[in-house]
Structure 1
Amino acid sequence: MLANYLIGLREGLEAGLIVGILVAYLGKTGRRDLLGRLWIGIGIAVAISLGVGALLTWGPYAMTFQAQEILGGVLSLLAVAMVTWMIFWMGTHGRTLSSELRGQVDAAIERSAWAIVLLGALSVGREGVETALFVWANVAGGSDPVLGTVGALAGIATAIVIAWGISKGLVRFNLGAFFTWTGLFLILVAAGVLAYGIGDLQEASVIPGWGTPAYSLTQLIPAGGWLDTLLGGIFNFTPEPTWAQVIGWTAYVAVTMALYLVMLRRRHTAAAAPPAPAAAAAAG
Protein backbone atom coordinates (compact mmCIF):
# COMPACT_ATOMS: atom_id res chain seq x y z
CA MET A 1 0.00 0.00 0.00
CA LEU A 2 2.86 2.40 0.82
CA ALA A 3 4.45 1.97 -2.61
CA ASN A 4 1.15 2.60 -4.39
CA TYR A 5 0.44 5.59 -2.14
CA LEU A 6 3.77 7.18 -3.08
CA ILE A 7 3.20 6.36 -6.75
CA GLY A 8 -0.22 8.03 -6.63
CA LEU A 9 1.18 10.95 -4.65
CA ARG A 10 4.12 11.59 -6.97
CA GLU A 11 2.22 11.17 -10.24
CA GLY A 12 -0.78 13.06 -8.89
CA LEU A 13 1.42 15.92 -7.75
CA GLU A 14 3.12 16.10 -11.13
CA ALA A 15 -0.28 16.22 -12.85
CA GLY A 16 -1.56 18.77 -10.33
CA LEU A 17 1.44 21.05 -10.89
CA ILE A 18 0.98 20.79 -14.66
CA VAL A 19 -2.72 21.68 -14.41
CA GLY A 20 -1.92 24.58 -12.07
CA ILE A 21 0.67 25.98 -14.48
CA LEU A 22 -1.69 25.70 -17.46
CA VAL A 23 -4.62 27.30 -15.62
CA ALA A 24 -2.48 30.13 -14.22
CA TYR A 25 -0.92 30.90 -17.59
CA LEU A 26 -4.27 31.03 -19.40
CA GLY A 27 -5.50 33.43 -16.71
CA LYS A 28 -2.35 35.55 -16.91
CA THR A 29 -2.59 35.89 -20.70
CA GLY A 30 -6.27 36.82 -20.57
CA ARG A 31 -7.47 33.60 -22.21
CA ARG A 32 -9.73 32.35 -19.45
CA ASP A 33 -12.26 31.61 -22.18
CA LEU A 34 -10.13 28.55 -23.00
CA LEU A 35 -10.29 27.08 -19.49
CA GLY A 36 -13.40 25.07 -20.34
CA ARG A 37 -11.61 23.39 -23.22
CA LEU A 38 -8.59 22.72 -21.03
CA TRP A 39 -10.82 20.98 -18.47
CA ILE A 40 -12.41 18.94 -21.27
CA GLY A 41 -8.93 17.69 -22.19
CA ILE A 42 -8.17 16.91 -18.55
CA GLY A 43 -11.47 15.02 -18.26
CA ILE A 44 -10.58 12.98 -21.33
CA ALA A 45 -7.20 12.15 -19.77
CA VAL A 46 -8.86 10.97 -16.55
CA ALA A 47 -11.34 8.82 -18.50
CA ILE A 48 -8.56 7.23 -20.56
CA SER A 49 -6.55 6.49 -17.40
CA LEU A 50 -9.56 4.83 -15.74
CA GLY A 51 -10.20 2.86 -18.93
CA VAL A 52 -6.62 1.62 -19.02
CA GLY A 53 -6.90 0.57 -15.37
CA ALA A 54 -10.17 -1.29 -16.02
CA LEU A 55 -8.75 -3.01 -19.11
CA LEU A 56 -5.67 -4.14 -17.22
CA THR A 57 -7.81 -5.42 -14.34
CA TRP A 58 -10.50 -7.35 -16.19
CA GLY A 59 -9.17 -7.79 -19.72
CA PRO A 60 -6.78 -10.75 -19.21
CA TYR A 61 -9.35 -13.08 -17.58
CA ALA A 62 -10.53 -14.44 -20.95
CA MET A 63 -6.98 -15.43 -21.93
CA THR A 64 -5.13 -18.70 -21.39
CA PHE A 65 -2.74 -18.98 -18.44
CA GLN A 66 0.31 -18.75 -20.67
CA ALA A 67 -1.09 -15.72 -22.49
CA GLN A 68 -1.88 -14.04 -19.15
CA GLU A 69 1.66 -14.62 -17.94
CA ILE A 70 3.17 -13.26 -21.15
CA LEU A 71 0.90 -10.21 -21.05
CA GLY A 72 1.67 -9.66 -17.37
CA GLY A 73 5.40 -9.92 -17.98
CA VAL A 74 5.39 -7.59 -20.97
CA LEU A 75 3.22 -5.00 -19.22
CA SER A 76 5.44 -5.16 -16.13
CA LEU A 77 8.49 -4.44 -18.27
CA LEU A 78 6.60 -1.60 -19.97
CA ALA A 79 5.63 -0.19 -16.56
CA VAL A 80 9.27 -0.26 -15.46
CA ALA A 81 10.34 1.50 -18.65
CA MET A 82 7.68 4.21 -18.24
CA VAL A 83 8.35 4.92 -14.57
CA THR A 84 12.12 4.98 -15.19
CA TRP A 85 11.64 7.47 -18.01
CA MET A 86 9.35 9.53 -15.76
CA ILE A 87 11.95 9.65 -12.96
CA PHE A 88 14.70 10.91 -15.27
CA TRP A 89 12.41 13.24 -17.24
CA MET A 90 11.27 14.99 -14.08
CA GLY A 91 14.86 15.17 -12.85
CA THR A 92 16.05 16.90 -16.02
CA HIS A 93 12.97 18.98 -16.90
CA GLY A 94 11.61 19.92 -13.47
CA ARG A 95 13.34 23.31 -13.45
CA THR A 96 12.09 24.23 -16.94
CA LEU A 97 8.65 22.60 -16.72
CA SER A 98 6.79 25.89 -16.31
CA SER A 99 8.44 27.60 -19.28
CA GLU A 100 8.00 24.52 -21.49
CA LEU A 101 4.29 24.32 -20.70
CA ARG A 102 3.81 28.04 -21.36
CA GLY A 103 5.47 27.60 -24.74
CA GLN A 104 3.17 24.67 -25.51
CA VAL A 105 0.12 26.76 -24.59
CA ASP A 106 1.25 29.57 -26.92
CA ALA A 107 1.83 27.09 -29.74
CA ALA A 108 -1.56 25.43 -29.17
CA ILE A 109 -3.39 28.79 -29.25
CA GLU A 110 -1.64 29.68 -32.51
CA ARG A 111 -2.73 26.42 -34.15
CA SER A 112 -6.31 26.23 -32.89
CA ALA A 113 -8.26 27.04 -29.74
CA TRP A 114 -9.29 23.37 -29.62
CA ALA A 115 -5.63 22.37 -29.51
CA ILE A 116 -5.85 23.27 -25.81
CA VAL A 117 -8.06 20.19 -25.40
CA LEU A 118 -5.32 18.00 -26.85
CA LEU A 119 -2.67 19.71 -24.72
CA GLY A 120 -4.66 19.09 -21.54
CA ALA A 121 -5.35 15.47 -22.49
CA LEU A 122 -1.71 14.69 -23.30
CA SER A 123 -0.17 16.59 -20.38
CA VAL A 124 -2.32 14.91 -17.75
CA GLY A 125 -3.02 11.64 -19.59
CA ARG A 126 0.64 10.66 -19.58
CA GLU A 127 0.72 10.80 -15.78
CA GLY A 128 -2.60 8.95 -15.51
CA VAL A 129 -1.61 6.09 -17.81
CA GLU A 130 1.76 5.74 -16.06
CA THR A 131 -0.03 5.56 -12.71
CA ALA A 132 -2.58 2.98 -13.90
CA LEU A 133 0.06 0.75 -15.46
CA PHE A 134 2.57 0.91 -12.62
CA VAL A 135 -0.01 0.45 -9.87
CA TRP A 136 -1.46 -2.53 -11.75
CA ALA A 137 1.99 -4.07 -12.17
CA ASN A 138 2.78 -3.56 -8.49
CA VAL A 139 -0.55 -5.03 -7.37
CA ALA A 140 -0.17 -7.97 -9.76
CA GLY A 141 3.22 -8.66 -8.20
CA GLY A 142 1.77 -9.51 -4.83
CA SER A 143 0.17 -6.45 -3.23
CA ASP A 144 -3.38 -6.79 -1.96
CA PRO A 145 -5.57 -5.43 -4.82
CA VAL A 146 -7.95 -3.55 -2.53
CA LEU A 147 -5.22 -2.04 -0.36
CA GLY A 148 -3.12 -1.25 -3.42
CA THR A 149 -5.97 0.59 -5.11
CA VAL A 150 -6.90 2.41 -1.91
CA GLY A 151 -3.26 3.41 -1.43
CA ALA A 152 -2.99 4.82 -4.97
CA LEU A 153 -6.29 6.73 -4.66
CA ALA A 154 -5.24 8.10 -1.27
CA GLY A 155 -1.95 9.27 -2.78
CA ILE A 156 -3.77 10.99 -5.65
CA ALA A 157 -6.22 12.62 -3.23
CA THR A 158 -3.32 13.88 -1.11
CA ALA A 159 -1.62 15.22 -4.23
CA ILE A 160 -4.75 17.13 -5.24
CA VAL A 161 -4.93 18.78 -1.83
CA ILE A 162 -1.22 19.67 -1.88
CA ALA A 163 -1.37 21.00 -5.45
CA TRP A 164 -4.40 23.13 -4.56
CA GLY A 165 -2.61 24.42 -1.46
CA ILE A 166 0.48 25.30 -3.50
CA SER A 167 -1.61 27.17 -6.10
CA LYS A 168 -3.24 29.21 -3.30
CA GLY A 169 0.03 29.84 -1.49
CA LEU A 170 -1.12 27.84 1.53
CA VAL A 171 1.41 25.00 1.26
CA ARG A 172 5.16 25.38 0.94
CA PHE A 173 7.66 22.54 0.86
CA ASN A 174 10.76 21.53 -1.05
CA LEU A 175 9.44 19.95 -4.26
CA GLY A 176 12.98 19.23 -5.45
CA ALA A 177 13.77 17.14 -2.38
CA PHE A 178 10.41 15.38 -2.65
CA PHE A 179 10.95 14.29 -6.25
CA THR A 180 14.58 13.37 -5.53
CA TRP A 181 13.81 11.02 -2.64
CA THR A 182 10.69 9.50 -4.20
CA GLY A 183 12.77 8.90 -7.33
CA LEU A 184 15.26 6.86 -5.32
CA PHE A 185 12.45 4.90 -3.70
CA LEU A 186 10.67 4.22 -7.01
CA ILE A 187 13.87 2.82 -8.53
CA LEU A 188 13.75 0.05 -5.90
CA VAL A 189 10.02 -0.46 -6.45
CA ALA A 190 10.55 -0.63 -10.22
CA ALA A 191 13.32 -3.20 -9.74
CA GLY A 192 10.85 -5.42 -7.89
CA VAL A 193 8.27 -5.02 -10.68
CA LEU A 194 10.99 -5.92 -13.20
CA ALA A 195 11.82 -9.09 -11.27
CA TYR A 196 8.12 -9.97 -11.12
CA GLY A 197 7.78 -9.44 -14.89
CA ILE A 198 10.77 -11.69 -15.53
CA GLY A 199 9.15 -14.35 -13.34
CA ASP A 200 5.93 -14.12 -15.38
CA LEU A 201 7.86 -14.62 -18.61
CA GLN A 202 9.69 -17.56 -17.07
CA GLU A 203 6.39 -19.16 -16.02
CA ALA A 204 5.22 -18.77 -19.62
CA SER A 205 8.47 -20.47 -20.82
CA VAL A 206 9.53 -17.34 -22.72
CA ILE A 207 12.63 -17.08 -20.51
CA PRO A 208 14.20 -20.31 -19.17
CA GLY A 209 15.02 -21.08 -15.56
CA TRP A 210 11.65 -21.05 -13.79
CA GLY A 211 11.49 -23.33 -10.76
CA THR A 212 15.22 -23.18 -10.03
CA PRO A 213 15.83 -20.61 -7.28
CA ALA A 214 19.19 -18.89 -7.04
CA TYR A 215 18.95 -19.00 -3.23
CA SER A 216 16.36 -19.27 -0.49
CA LEU A 217 15.71 -16.81 2.33
CA THR A 218 12.71 -18.65 3.72
CA GLN A 219 14.60 -19.46 6.92
CA LEU A 220 15.15 -15.76 7.58
CA ILE A 221 11.90 -14.48 6.04
CA PRO A 222 9.20 -17.18 6.25
CA ALA A 223 6.75 -17.19 3.36
CA GLY A 224 3.45 -15.62 4.40
CA GLY A 225 4.96 -13.94 7.47
CA TRP A 226 4.56 -10.25 8.22
CA LEU A 227 8.00 -9.32 6.88
CA ASP A 228 7.46 -11.30 3.68
CA THR A 229 4.08 -9.60 3.23
CA LEU A 230 5.51 -6.15 3.92
CA LEU A 231 8.49 -6.50 1.58
CA GLY A 232 6.38 -8.20 -1.07
CA GLY A 233 3.75 -5.47 -0.95
CA ILE A 234 6.26 -2.63 -1.25
CA PHE A 235 9.15 -4.05 -3.30
CA ASN A 236 7.68 -7.24 -4.87
CA PHE A 237 10.18 -9.19 -2.79
CA THR A 238 10.32 -12.97 -3.17
CA PRO A 239 12.40 -15.14 -0.80
CA GLU A 240 13.25 -17.63 -3.58
CA PRO A 241 14.06 -15.70 -6.77
CA THR A 242 15.38 -17.32 -9.92
CA TRP A 243 18.78 -16.45 -11.34
CA ALA A 244 17.17 -14.41 -14.11
CA GLN A 245 15.25 -12.38 -11.52
CA VAL A 246 18.38 -11.80 -9.43
CA ILE A 247 20.43 -10.73 -12.44
CA GLY A 248 17.65 -8.49 -13.76
CA TRP A 249 17.04 -6.83 -10.38
CA THR A 250 20.75 -6.29 -9.69
CA ALA A 251 21.56 -4.96 -13.15
CA TYR A 252 18.60 -2.58 -13.14
CA VAL A 253 19.37 -1.15 -9.69
CA ALA A 254 23.10 -0.83 -10.39
CA VAL A 255 22.71 0.93 -13.74
CA THR A 256 19.66 3.05 -12.97
CA MET A 257 20.82 4.12 -9.52
CA ALA A 258 24.26 5.07 -10.85
CA LEU A 259 22.78 7.15 -13.68
CA TYR A 260 20.31 8.77 -11.29
CA LEU A 261 23.03 9.75 -8.82
CA VAL A 262 25.15 11.15 -11.66
CA MET A 263 22.16 13.21 -12.80
CA LEU A 264 21.63 14.53 -9.27
CA ARG A 265 25.31 15.43 -8.94
CA ARG A 266 25.30 17.31 -12.24
CA ARG A 267 22.12 19.13 -11.28
CA HIS A 268 23.63 20.11 -7.92
CA THR A 269 26.84 21.28 -9.59
CA ALA A 270 24.89 23.35 -12.12
CA ALA A 271 22.79 24.92 -9.37
CA ALA A 272 25.89 25.78 -7.30
CA ALA A 273 27.84 27.24 -10.22
CA PRO A 274 28.09 31.05 -10.36
CA PRO A 275 26.07 32.72 -13.12
CA ALA A 276 27.85 33.12 -16.43
CA PRO A 277 29.14 36.60 -17.21
CA ALA A 278 27.18 38.72 -19.65
CA ALA A 279 27.89 37.95 -23.26
CA ALA A 280 28.22 41.60 -24.11
CA ALA A 281 31.49 42.17 -22.29
CA ALA A 282 33.19 45.44 -23.15
CA ALA A 283 35.92 45.12 -25.72
CA GLY A 284 38.58 47.79 -26.09
Structure 2
Amino acid sequence: MISSLVLSFREGLEAVLVIGIILTYLTQNNKQKLVKYVYWGTILGVLTGVIGGYIGFKEAKELEEKGADLFEAIMMLVSAGLIGYFVVWMSKQNKNISQSVRNSVDKASTGFGLLVLAFLSVVREGIELIAFILTKVSANASNVALGAALGIILAVIIGYLIFKTSLELNLKIIFKILGIILIFIGAELFGEGMAKLIPSAGELLEEGGSILFGAIAMIYFLKDDIKKLLKRD
Protein backbone atom coordinates (compact mmCIF):
# COMPACT_ATOMS: atom_id res chain seq x y z
CA MET A 1 0.00 0.00 0.00
CA ILE A 2 2.85 2.39 0.84
CA SER A 3 4.46 2.13 -2.60
CA SER A 4 1.17 2.76 -4.42
CA LEU A 5 0.51 5.71 -2.08
CA VAL A 6 3.90 7.27 -2.88
CA LEU A 7 3.50 6.72 -6.61
CA SER A 8 -0.05 8.09 -6.76
CA PHE A 9 0.97 11.07 -4.61
CA ARG A 10 3.82 11.96 -6.97
CA GLU A 11 1.76 11.61 -10.14
CA GLY A 12 -1.28 13.25 -8.57
CA LEU A 13 0.63 16.22 -7.25
CA GLU A 14 2.20 16.92 -10.63
CA ALA A 15 -1.22 16.88 -12.28
CA VAL A 16 -2.69 19.11 -9.54
CA LEU A 17 0.15 21.62 -9.92
CA VAL A 18 -0.24 21.83 -13.69
CA ILE A 19 -4.02 22.28 -13.48
CA GLY A 20 -3.52 24.84 -10.70
CA ILE A 21 -1.15 26.88 -12.86
CA ILE A 22 -3.63 26.83 -15.73
CA LEU A 23 -6.50 28.02 -13.53
CA THR A 24 -4.39 30.70 -11.85
CA TYR A 25 -3.14 32.03 -15.19
CA LEU A 26 -6.66 32.23 -16.62
CA THR A 27 -7.89 34.08 -13.52
CA GLN A 28 -4.98 36.53 -13.63
CA ASN A 29 -5.83 37.34 -17.27
CA ASN A 30 -9.56 37.81 -16.59
CA LYS A 31 -10.53 34.70 -18.55
CA GLN A 32 -12.73 33.12 -15.90
CA LYS A 33 -15.24 32.10 -18.57
CA LEU A 34 -12.72 29.54 -19.83
CA VAL A 35 -12.15 27.99 -16.39
CA LYS A 36 -15.10 25.59 -16.79
CA TYR A 37 -13.40 23.95 -19.78
CA VAL A 38 -10.35 23.21 -17.64
CA TYR A 39 -12.58 21.59 -15.02
CA TRP A 40 -14.34 19.50 -17.66
CA GLY A 41 -11.01 18.40 -19.12
CA THR A 42 -9.76 17.49 -15.65
CA ILE A 43 -12.90 15.48 -14.83
CA LEU A 44 -12.71 13.61 -18.14
CA GLY A 45 -9.03 12.90 -17.52
CA VAL A 46 -9.70 11.53 -14.04
CA LEU A 47 -12.58 9.34 -15.27
CA THR A 48 -10.44 8.02 -18.11
CA GLY A 49 -7.66 7.19 -15.66
CA VAL A 50 -9.98 5.43 -13.21
CA ILE A 51 -11.69 3.37 -15.91
CA GLY A 52 -8.38 2.57 -17.60
CA GLY A 53 -6.82 1.61 -14.28
CA TYR A 54 -9.70 -0.69 -13.36
CA ILE A 55 -9.71 -2.44 -16.72
CA GLY A 56 -5.93 -2.65 -16.82
CA PHE A 57 -5.65 -4.11 -13.32
CA LYS A 58 -8.43 -6.62 -13.98
CA GLU A 59 -6.83 -7.82 -17.20
CA ALA A 60 -3.41 -7.84 -15.59
CA LYS A 61 -4.68 -10.12 -12.82
CA GLU A 62 -5.72 -12.67 -15.42
CA LEU A 63 -2.39 -12.47 -17.23
CA GLU A 64 -0.51 -12.63 -13.94
CA GLU A 65 -2.06 -16.00 -13.18
CA LYS A 66 -0.58 -17.38 -16.40
CA GLY A 67 2.91 -15.99 -15.91
CA ALA A 68 3.40 -13.79 -12.88
CA ASP A 69 7.16 -13.23 -13.01
CA LEU A 70 7.28 -12.51 -16.74
CA PHE A 71 4.34 -10.09 -16.61
CA GLU A 72 5.70 -8.21 -13.59
CA ALA A 73 9.14 -8.04 -15.20
CA ILE A 74 7.71 -6.49 -18.36
CA MET A 75 5.59 -3.96 -16.44
CA MET A 76 8.55 -2.98 -14.25
CA LEU A 77 10.72 -2.35 -17.31
CA VAL A 78 7.90 -0.43 -19.03
CA SER A 79 7.48 1.74 -15.92
CA ALA A 80 11.22 2.35 -15.75
CA GLY A 81 11.07 3.36 -19.42
CA LEU A 82 8.31 5.87 -18.65
CA ILE A 83 10.47 7.35 -15.93
CA GLY A 84 13.34 7.61 -18.38
CA TYR A 85 11.01 9.48 -20.73
CA PHE A 86 10.01 11.78 -17.89
CA VAL A 87 13.66 12.63 -17.20
CA VAL A 88 14.27 13.53 -20.86
CA TRP A 89 11.00 15.49 -21.08
CA MET A 90 11.73 17.49 -17.94
CA SER A 91 15.25 18.30 -19.14
CA LYS A 92 13.86 19.78 -22.35
CA GLN A 93 11.32 21.98 -20.59
CA ASN A 94 11.92 25.62 -19.83
CA LYS A 95 13.74 26.25 -16.57
CA ASN A 96 10.62 28.01 -15.36
CA ILE A 97 8.02 25.24 -15.24
CA SER A 98 5.23 27.68 -14.50
CA GLN A 99 6.05 29.72 -17.61
CA SER A 100 6.15 26.58 -19.73
CA VAL A 101 2.59 25.72 -18.71
CA ARG A 102 1.45 29.29 -19.32
CA ASN A 103 2.87 29.14 -22.83
CA SER A 104 0.80 26.01 -23.43
CA VAL A 105 -2.30 27.86 -22.21
CA ASP A 106 -1.61 30.73 -24.63
CA LYS A 107 -1.31 28.26 -27.50
CA ALA A 108 -4.54 26.50 -26.52
CA SER A 109 -6.44 29.83 -26.28
CA THR A 110 -9.95 28.42 -26.98
CA GLY A 111 -12.27 26.60 -24.60
CA PHE A 112 -11.90 23.33 -26.47
CA GLY A 113 -8.13 23.76 -26.58
CA LEU A 114 -7.98 24.23 -22.81
CA LEU A 115 -10.25 21.22 -22.27
CA VAL A 116 -7.84 19.09 -24.32
CA LEU A 117 -4.81 20.58 -22.52
CA ALA A 118 -6.26 19.78 -19.08
CA PHE A 119 -7.39 16.33 -20.24
CA LEU A 120 -3.97 15.40 -21.60
CA SER A 121 -2.19 16.79 -18.54
CA VAL A 122 -4.22 14.53 -16.26
CA VAL A 123 -4.25 11.49 -18.56
CA ARG A 124 -0.47 11.60 -18.99
CA GLU A 125 0.01 11.25 -15.25
CA GLY A 126 -2.78 8.67 -15.13
CA ILE A 127 -1.08 6.46 -17.72
CA GLU A 128 2.18 6.58 -15.79
CA LEU A 129 0.38 5.75 -12.54
CA ILE A 130 -1.47 2.83 -14.13
CA ALA A 131 1.81 1.40 -15.44
CA PHE A 132 3.39 1.72 -12.00
CA ILE A 133 0.42 0.15 -10.22
CA LEU A 134 0.43 -2.80 -12.63
CA THR A 135 3.87 -3.68 -11.27
CA LYS A 136 2.00 -4.45 -8.01
CA VAL A 137 -0.54 -6.72 -9.66
CA SER A 138 0.43 -9.64 -7.42
CA ALA A 139 -0.41 -7.57 -4.32
CA ASN A 140 -3.85 -7.33 -2.69
CA ALA A 141 -6.10 -5.25 -4.97
CA SER A 142 -7.83 -3.49 -2.06
CA ASN A 143 -4.53 -2.37 -0.53
CA VAL A 144 -3.29 -1.08 -3.88
CA ALA A 145 -6.54 0.83 -4.51
CA LEU A 146 -6.55 2.27 -0.99
CA GLY A 147 -2.94 3.41 -1.27
CA ALA A 148 -3.59 5.03 -4.65
CA ALA A 149 -6.70 6.82 -3.37
CA LEU A 150 -4.93 8.15 -0.27
CA GLY A 151 -1.99 9.32 -2.36
CA ILE A 152 -4.23 11.27 -4.73
CA ILE A 153 -6.20 12.83 -1.86
CA LEU A 154 -2.96 13.88 -0.18
CA ALA A 155 -1.72 15.33 -3.50
CA VAL A 156 -4.87 17.45 -3.85
CA ILE A 157 -4.51 18.76 -0.29
CA ILE A 158 -0.81 19.59 -0.69
CA GLY A 159 -1.44 21.17 -4.08
CA TYR A 160 -4.17 23.36 -2.62
CA LEU A 161 -1.87 24.51 0.18
CA ILE A 162 0.90 25.32 -2.29
CA PHE A 163 -1.38 27.56 -4.33
CA LYS A 164 -2.51 29.29 -1.16
CA THR A 165 1.07 30.12 -0.16
CA SER A 166 4.03 30.77 -2.47
CA LEU A 167 3.66 29.07 -5.85
CA GLU A 168 6.39 30.92 -7.71
CA LEU A 169 8.96 30.32 -4.96
CA ASN A 170 8.34 26.61 -4.47
CA LEU A 171 7.21 25.18 -7.81
CA LYS A 172 10.61 24.49 -9.39
CA ILE A 173 11.93 22.92 -6.19
CA ILE A 174 8.83 20.75 -5.86
CA PHE A 175 9.14 19.42 -9.41
CA LYS A 176 12.83 18.76 -8.81
CA ILE A 177 12.13 16.79 -5.62
CA LEU A 178 9.33 14.83 -7.30
CA GLY A 179 11.67 14.01 -10.17
CA ILE A 180 14.39 12.72 -7.85
CA ILE A 181 11.89 10.54 -5.97
CA LEU A 182 10.67 9.14 -9.27
CA ILE A 183 14.21 8.31 -10.39
CA PHE A 184 14.81 6.28 -7.22
CA ILE A 185 11.57 4.40 -7.85
CA GLY A 186 12.55 3.86 -11.50
CA ALA A 187 15.95 2.50 -10.50
CA GLU A 188 14.32 -0.01 -8.16
CA LEU A 189 11.80 -1.06 -10.82
CA PHE A 190 14.50 -1.45 -13.46
CA GLY A 191 16.68 -3.57 -11.21
CA GLU A 192 13.82 -5.79 -10.07
CA GLY A 193 12.49 -6.11 -13.61
CA MET A 194 15.85 -7.24 -14.98
CA ALA A 195 16.27 -9.72 -12.12
CA LYS A 196 12.82 -11.22 -12.79
CA LEU A 197 13.48 -11.33 -16.51
CA ILE A 198 16.82 -13.10 -16.05
CA PRO A 199 16.49 -15.01 -12.73
CA SER A 200 19.85 -16.76 -13.17
CA ALA A 201 21.68 -13.43 -12.78
CA GLY A 202 20.33 -12.99 -9.25
CA GLU A 203 20.97 -10.00 -6.98
CA LEU A 204 24.04 -8.85 -8.91
CA LEU A 205 21.94 -7.90 -11.95
CA GLU A 206 19.27 -6.31 -9.76
CA GLU A 207 21.71 -4.13 -7.84
CA GLY A 208 23.81 -3.34 -10.89
CA GLY A 209 20.76 -2.43 -12.96
CA SER A 210 19.38 -0.19 -10.23
CA ILE A 211 22.69 1.64 -9.78
CA LEU A 212 23.19 2.07 -13.53
CA PHE A 213 19.68 3.37 -14.17
CA GLY A 214 19.73 5.66 -11.13
CA ALA A 215 23.15 7.12 -11.90
CA ILE A 216 22.44 7.85 -15.57
CA ALA A 217 18.98 9.28 -14.88
CA MET A 218 20.16 11.39 -11.94
CA ILE A 219 23.09 12.88 -13.86
CA TYR A 220 20.86 13.71 -16.83
CA PHE A 221 18.12 15.16 -14.64
CA LEU A 222 20.49 17.28 -12.54
CA LYS A 223 22.98 18.20 -15.27
CA ASP A 224 22.15 21.92 -15.15
CA ASP A 225 22.50 21.99 -11.37
CA ILE A 226 25.81 20.10 -11.61
CA LYS A 227 27.13 22.62 -14.17
CA LYS A 228 26.22 25.50 -11.84
CA LEU A 229 28.07 23.87 -8.94
CA LEU A 230 31.16 23.26 -11.08
CA LYS A 231 31.19 26.90 -12.26
CA ARG A 232 31.09 28.12 -8.65
CA ASP A 233 34.14 26.02 -7.84
Length-normalised TM-score, structure 1:
0.68
Q: Which moved more, 1:71-80 or 1:88-97?
A: 88-97
Aligned length: 232
Partner of residue 5, structure 2? 5
Distance 1:118-1:180 versus aligned 2 partners, 3 A rule: closer
Identify the residue that residue 32 of structure 1 maps to in structure 2: 32
In the other structure, the counterpart of 2:111 is: 113
What are the residue-to-residue correspondences of 1:228-243 with 2, within 5 Å?
241=203
Q: Which amino acid aligns with 2:149?
A: L
Alpha carbons 2:38, 2:114 under 8 Å: kept? yes
Find 1:130's aligned residue among 128, 131, 155: 128
Residue 254, structure 1, aligned to residue 218, structure 2: no
How far 1:135 moved relative to its partner? 2.8
Pairwise mapping of residues 1-284 of structure 1 onto structure 2 (< 5 A)? 1-63=1-63, 70-87=70-87, 89-90=89-90, 93=93, 95-109=95-109, 112-137=110-135, 139-140=136-137, 145-169=141-165, 174-200=170-196, 202=197, 209-210=198-199, 212=200, 214=202, 241=203, 244-266=205-227
Distance in 1 of aligned mates of 2:101 and 2:67: 40
* Worse overlay, 75-84 or 63-72: 63-72
Deviation sequence 1:2-37 (CA, Å, 0-9, x none): 433332222222111111111112222222212122
Residues 174-230 of structure 1: per-residue CA shift (max 9 Å, x gap): 454444444334323222222333345x3xxxxxx43x364xxxxxxxxxxxxxxxx
| Structure 1: runs of 5+ lacking an equivalent | 203-208, 215-240, 273-284
CA distance in 1, matches of 2:182, 2:87: 8
**More helix by percentage:** 2
Give the conservation status (yes or no) of the 8 Å contact 1:4–1:135. yes
3-state DSSP class of the match of 1:114? helix
Residue 156 of structure 1 aligns with an amino acid whose one-letter code is I
Aligned partners of 2:64, 2:10: CA distance in 1, in Å?
35
Paired residue type of 2:10:
R
Does structure 1 conserve the Cα–Cα contact (< 8 Å) formed by 2:94 and 2:100? no
Identity of aligned residues (%): 23
Larger gyration radius, structure 1 or structure 2: 1
Q: CA deviation at 1:261?
A: 4.3
d(CA) in 2 for partners of 1:178 and 1:22?
Answer: 17
Moved over 6 A (4+): 170-173
Q: Is the 8 A contact 1:6 1:182 kept in 2?
A: no
Query: How far did residue 84 of structure 1 move?
Result: 3.1
**By how many angstroms is 1:86 displaced?**
2.4
CA–CA distance in structure 1, aligned partners of residues 223 and 175 of structure 2: 16
Measured at CA, do residues 147 and 61 of structure 1 come closer, stay the same or move farther in structure 2, by a change above 3 Å? closer
* Residues 1:18 and 1:267: Cα distance change in structure 2 (over 3 Å): farther
Give structure 2 stretches of 5+ with no counterpart.
none
1:64 and 1:9 map into 2 onto residues whose CA distance is 26
